[in-house]
Structure 1
Amino acid sequence: MVFLSDMALFLDLDNTLLPSKPAYKYALTECAKDWENRKLGGDFLSLYESARTKVKNQLVGHSSNRLRLLCFKLMLDESLSSGFQTKDIIDVLWMEERYHFHFLSYLKNESKKENYQTKLFPKLLALSNKFPIFLTTNETLRTQLLKVSSFLPDHFRFTLITSEEVGHEKPTTEFFSYLLELAKENPEDCILLGDNWDDDVLGANRHGIASVHVPEMWDEGREVNEYPFESSAPIWKAPNTVAALDFAELWLSKRQK
């Protein structure tokens, strides 16, 4: 598709476009039931939190620190008094399957709600036909493909960039350099929307990209205000994702002229 604009819109995915935090919480609650029903031993939530901390500390800055499979393997290592055996592999893989099942089930149900169907999704579709959109995320490719296909509208146009593909996570220079090179745009002609202050907002700002901080997807209000913040590019705060998208559309349109 040929765009009339030389501008680019960078969008964070988790908790900016799709509600990952409640989906994650729901998935863990359901996985705890699966763990107990399968009689895998120990308290699921305490084992999971311990494993998650170890994985994140071991793999700081590496996209693999997001893999739940690593957590479930470590949990089985810790909970089996007789030691891990070949037969236990099926339980690790089963738990990963259940985690994704619950997570994606939550997203599918959430996507049917009116806020998404009448407000967010139509706006995304319209913008994707007007500007090139890049989804930026610190995650593995398979996980994000599953999320997007379960949640966002079928005809939404975008380029997906994951930290697994880049080899570095936001807010590193490597990630944003890769993003700008792929977009073939100058930083001052781009704007990024994201919920994470460090990874999204400051990461973009350090590379001369304007940004809109969206701490909550669905807070009340429409007003977008600029932060009184000395920086290489402007930073605004929006009360919700739709307001941020409206602001970004206006900003990009003004830059075109």
Structure 2
Amino acid sequence: MALFLDLDNTLLPSKAAYEFAIGECAKDWKERKLGGDFFSLYESARKKVKNQLIGHSSNRLRLLCFKLMMDAFKKHPVENQKTNSSESKSTNDFQTKDIADVLWMEERYHFHFLSYLNAEAKKEIYQTKLFPKLVALSNKVPVFLTTNETLRTQLLKVSSFLPEQFRFTLITSEEVGFEKPTIKFFSYVLEVSGENSEDCILLGDNWEDDVLGANRHGIASIHIPNMWGEGDVKEYPSDTPAPIWTAPSTVAALEFAELWFLKRQK
């Protein structure tokens, strides 16, 4: 038996951390006087990266976004910026000195993101409800964190947020070479776990990537739309290869998974 857990927005509040980090990066961009409107430059760069690298873990790298932002601003500087012809080329081209700004922005993004997670992890709701349940389950069944991300990024997140006593195996799409919900990703996860699909259950927030991706392999799954909602775990009516449940919170889903494992042991 094995427990497969999504990481972002299932175990840690990545969406809120991301929004906080981008907001703070906008301040950093302005403070460093890099020019242009940060948010419009970022959204344009993010869209380009996503479209260019569909299905590739690198599409999540902020470093690529910041590099493209600098490229875009250099090519299309502020309209009222006045330069003579000799200055124009050096102003509009990416230069060696610009590399420091790109790397600095990436560093600031991770600093803000991880600072948010570190602060969240100290809150009572995590310390008394989520973390104890995770640690207890990880001592009973093998736990695999299955994520669409780069390895370095996820290592930083986990080390900044989850408790030291939590036992797990981390599997990222960067390592696999394919993202969820591809067949190759879940085939790899099952191979690493050494378990039969019917003896595994997955918890995740993304319906397509987590729930349906696992379900196509006959892996039972629990959909968690909200980390801290209220209500009961309910079975989702479907004719899929394996059962699907919806849970109001991550803690409720973990408690349900624990009972599911106990029933399968009998």
Identity %: 80
Structure 1 CA distance, aligned partners of 2:249 and 2:6? Answer: 13
| AA matched with 1:22 | A
Structure 1 CA distance, aligned partners of 2:133 and 2:149? Answer: 25
Q: Residue 147 of structure 1 is aligned with which of 153, 157, 163?
A: 157
Structure 1 CA distance, aligned partners of 2:19 and 2:238? Answer: 34
Q: For residue 54 of structure 1, what is the aligned residue in structure 2?
A: 48
Instruction: Note the alpha carbon deviations across 1:184-215, whole angstroms, 9 max, x for none.
Output: 00000000000000000000000100000000
The count of residues paired between Structure 1 and Structure 2 equals 250
Shift of 1:150: 0.1
1:75 aligns with 2:69: yes
Where do residues 115-154 of structure 1 align in structure 2 (5 Å cutoff)?
115-154=125-164
Shift of 1:83: 1.5
Structure 1 CA distance, aligned partners of 2:164 and 2:248? Answer: 27
Of 181-190 and 78-87, deviating more is 78-87
1:187 aligns with 2:197: yes
Q: For residue 253 of structure 2, what is the aligned residue in structure 1?
A: 244
Q: Residue 226 of structure 1 is aligned with which of 235, 239, 242?
A: 235
Q: For residue 211 of structure 1, what is the aligned residue in structure 2?
A: 221
Where do residues 162-181 of structure 1 align in structure 2 (5 Å cutoff)?
162-181=172-191
| AA matched with 1:255 | R
Name the SS for the 1:101 alignment partner. Answer: helix
1:13 aligns with 2:43: no
Q: For residue 3 of structure 1, what is the aligned residue in structure 2?
A: none
Name the SS for the 1:212 alignment partner. Answer: strand
Structure 2 CA distance, aligned partners of 1:36 and 1:94? Answer: 13
Structure 2 CA distance, aligned partners of 1:98 and 1:209? Answer: 39
Structure 2 CA distance, aligned partners of 1:32 and 1:100? Answer: 13
- TM-score for both structures, normalised by structure 2: 0.93
Shift of 1:256: 1.2
Structure 2 CA distance, aligned partners of 1:220 and 1:88? Answer: 48
Runs of 4+ off more than 2 Å: none
Query: For structure 1, which runs of at least 5 residues remain unmatched after alignment?
Result: 1-6
Q: Residue 201 of structure 1 is aligned with which of 181, 190, 211?
A: 211
Structure 1 CA distance, aligned partners of 2:64 and 2:262? Answer: 44
Q: For residue 37 of structure 1, what is the aligned residue in structure 2?
A: 31
Structure 1 CA distance, aligned partners of 2:148 and 2:56? Answer: 9
Shift of 1:220: 1.6
Structure 2 CA distance, aligned partners of 1:253 and 1:43? Answer: 55
Query: For structure 2, which runs of at least 5 residues remain unmatched after alignment?
Result: 78-91
1:103 aligns with 2:113: yes
Structure 1 CA distance, aligned partners of 2:33 and 2:190? Answer: 49
* Structure possessing the higher radius of gyration over alpha carbons: 2
Shift of 1:253: 1.2
Structure 2 CA distance, aligned partners of 1:50 and 1:94? Answer: 20
| AA matched with 1:18 | L
